[in-house]
Chain A
Amino acid sequence: MQAGNWPNLPHTDEYAIRFDSGRATRLLIVPALFDEANKMRHFTVEIMRALDEAGIDTMLPDLPGTNESCEVLADQSLSSWQSAMVGAAAYFEATHVLALRGGALCAPSDLPCLRYAPVKGVRVLNALLRAQTLADREAGRESTREQLSEQGKSAGLTLAGYTLSPAMFRQLEEANLPGHSFCDIAQTDIGGGGLWLRAEPDHDPDQARALARIVAERLA
């Protein structure tokens, strides 16, 4: 595994990890979004390890404002993330994309893209809104998803620890899953429960191997 930066012009460089041996099939992985990215980080890297063994190069760039990024999350939107992923794909000379969960909402549209259990933006947003109303209630404050939603769209809002710009808020609310050339990979295709559901980050080697095998078959 290699680690290093890639240029996200005109912004600061971003970090990526890679299994890069200059092979013909080069897969850019767009991570899941927000808390799901943390819960699935280990799983994601194990998928990359399994794909490396299957002869496929992979790169996992940070979305600006997340993980090791020096950028501010509150400045980001789905468009800025997509633009960064297009830049990363070009820099790493990716031939294909694997988007995990909400990563499908900001995957480059000019490369063939496999999507694992993709979700609409409104579902990603609803999970954050629901978590925030539950946390508010626990803290003795009353809030509703409607109130929070209005505030988020007009002025931006911190939901469950993630500061979303008004643009991010609106784009998540409106983001449908774009059309694509491959069939999606559903959770039922790989078996077991989705690791994004876990209360604590977890890993399942069987699921990682199953997903990598399906990806390798589809790219063959």
Chain B
Amino acid sequence: MASKLPVPVAESGDIDLVLRQVLQDVLGLSTERVAELDTDSGLFGHLPELDSMAVAGLLTELEDRLDILIEDDDVDGEMLETFGALAAFLAAKRADA
């Protein structure tokens, strides 16, 4: 029988999926290209089109879709540098939420 408990907005597996979807929307990547992103894939500082305005949009969209709040102090070059680092940050935020 199906549980009537509320379904969490995002489990850790969903964070990976949501991050891929948002990066696809921000970077205009093909489905194949977005599926190839792995832990070491470089983001901020590696992709010239990912400027401060685009990162601001990316973070706001992740906040909305994962129901989390990202403070200015949370944001640094390291957390945005790779797909894996950003996914780990989002998982930790979701665990705190």
Nearest-CB distance from A149 to chain B (Å)? Answer: 12
Q: Provide the bound-state CA to CA distance between A202 and B28, in Å.
A: 8
Q: Provide the bound-state CA to CA distance between A126 and B60, in Å.
A: 9
At the interface, yes or no: A180 with Cβ under 8 Å from chain B? no
Chain B interface SS verdict (over half): helix
Q: Do B49 and A127 touch (CB < 8 A)?
A: no
At the interface, yes or no: A138 with Cβ under 8 Å from chain B? yes
Number of interface residues of A (CB under 8 A): 24
Q: Do B56 and A131 touch (CB < 8 A)?
A: yes
Number of interface residues of B (CB under 8 A): 24
Q: Provide the bound-state CA to CA distance between A36 and B62, in Å.
A: 18
At the interface, yes or no: A191 with Cβ under 8 Å from chain B? no
Of the candidates A35, A133, A199, which one forms a contact with B27 in the assembled complex, judged by CB atoms under 8 Å apart? A199
At the interface, yes or no: A145 with Cβ under 8 Å from chain B? yes
Q: Which residues of B does A touch, CB under 8 Å?
A: 21-22, 24-28, 47, 49-61, 72, 75-76
Query: 16 other contacts beyond A127-B60, A193-B24, A198-B26, with CB at 8 A cut-off?
Result: A126-B60, A127-B56, A127-B57, A128-B56, A130-B60, A131-B55, A144-B72, A193-B21, A194-B25, A196-B57, A197-B26, A197-B57, A198-B25, A199-B50, A199-B51, A200-B28
